[in-house]
Amino acid sequence: MEKAFVAQRVARKLFATERALDAAMVEAAELMADMLKARMDLNLSAVVGDSASAKLVEALAALGEARSAIVGAHNELNDVRLRIGVRTRMAGWEDKPAELQTLIAKDDLRQVG
């Protein structure tokens, strides 16, 4: 099998893993916000659900560590890609937001941000 296609398969899994970790972090952060709002909506003491909040903070920290680790793996895999002679990037359009695709197509990145 051609190296570029194998590298592309690995890259797709890597990008999917990165997106999954980001999504998990967003969900966990939204859960924390909802838990705090629920406690306030019900006029409950700050001690109610405190241990659950602490566990969720631990989970968010673990997700942050996992995200940092996968970013490190991404960098390492980029080096491997170059060492095995795969010089092209395999990201394509699928990993870019639609509005960024339009800007890239126009060659006008000044509008980003």
* Chain segment 27-41, per-residue pLDDT in tens: 999 999 999 999 999
pLDDT in tens, 53-90: 999 999 999 999 999 999 999 999 999 999 999 887 65
User: Using an 8 Å Cβ cutoff, are 67 and 14 in contact?
Assistant: no
| Average pLDDT value for residue range 97-101 | 54
| Average pLDDT value for residue range 94-111 | 52
| H-run or E-run covering 17 | helix 3-41
The whole-number pLDDT of residue 113 equals 46
pLDDT band at 97 (very low <50, low <70, confident <90, very high): low
- 8 φ/ψ angles, rounded to the nearest 5 degrees: -65, -40
More confident residue, 97 or 81: 81
- 39-to-1, 30, 54 alpha-carbon distances in Å: 56, 14, 14
Q: How many helices (H) and strands (E) does the chain have?
A: 3, 0
Q: How far apart are CA 66 and CA 112, in angstroms?
A: 28
Asked if pLDDT for residue 45 goes beyond 70, the answer is: yes
Domain ranges across the chain: 3-111
Q: How far apart are CA 4 and CA 88, in angstroms?
A: 8
Asked if pLDDT for residue 111 goes beyond 70, the answer is: no
